[in-house]
Amino acid sequence: MSSAEQRTQMSNGAGFIAALDQSGGSTPKALALYGVDASEYSSDEEMFGEIQKMRARIILADDFTKDKVIGAILFERTLGEQIDGQKVADYLWSVKGIVPFLKIDKGLEDEANGVQMMKPIPGLAATLAKADGVFGTKERSVIHEANAEGIAAVVAQQFDVAREVVASGMVPIVEPEVNINSATKAEAEDILKAEILKNLDQLADGQDIMLKLTIPNQANLYDELADHPRVLRVVALSGGYSTQQACDLLGQNGKMIASFSRALTEGLSKKQSDAEFNAALGGNIDKIFRASS
């Protein structure tokens, strides 16, 4: 299958995107929830080894197929890992029929103007050039309050990176997350939508992107973004909501599908038998798929 088929799957496929891109900052927390204590690894190498085992267990699970999971976001180190003797991105697409994406941001700057911008991404062109078999990227910023100047800066930075990704032949997932605990969440979302629309209108034909957004307070707020000719898909992040909460809220937004990380892995444990693990993961996948349909 070709990237044309990957593109069709991302534009129209029924299902959701699994976010398997836990990085250095989020890995210890993800491992703790999975039942791996920090005392069980003594270096970054061992820590990343543990999270890779968790990712491989998820990817190899019977329910983790394109029937419900249409894409998966990977951490950069994961591109060098293998599953059953194949590079992870190749395995996802050729065996599971799942479109691979790559997280490219290097974390967040300190908060200023109510937002956290992305840190610089050194060597981005080289990273994109060697991302064999990867359809697109994902890059995250965070908005903490309804500060118009801060939100405009976040969106402008996101679109600058998005243009570079598009120029490399890939599709960027632009992710300006709004903190679910923000006291001005609804106002921030209105400002964010207006800024995204402004930037979308400046893209040329063929400069197509995806959007990954916090589930909005006002149901269907982002329908206009989903209908924009430059947008392949609008996906939702779980943002700290429980799986059930995230699915309930997502179900109210007809033009968003899920791209959940923590909500996907909720209730999974290293200590579970394969049957228990697969049942728990399968239950999460079903819930998230239904909410995305």
Dihedral angle, C-alpha 26, 28, 30, 31, nearest 10 °: 160
211: nearest Cα among 138, 133, 129: 138
Instruction: Report how far apart, in Å, the C-alpha atoms of 12 and of each of 15, 126, 248, 256, 276 are.
Output: 9, 30, 22, 12, 32
Catalytic residue among 96, 212, 266, 287: 212
Beta bridge partners of 174: 139, 211
> Which is the catalytic residue, given 145, 175, 177, 266?
175
Is 212 a catalytic site residue? Answer: yes
The answer to whether 149 is a known catalytic residue is no
Rounded Cα distance between 28 and 216, Å, is 28
Positive or negative torsion for Cα 192, 237, 109, 232:
negative
- Three-class SS state of 194: helix
Active site residues: 175, 212
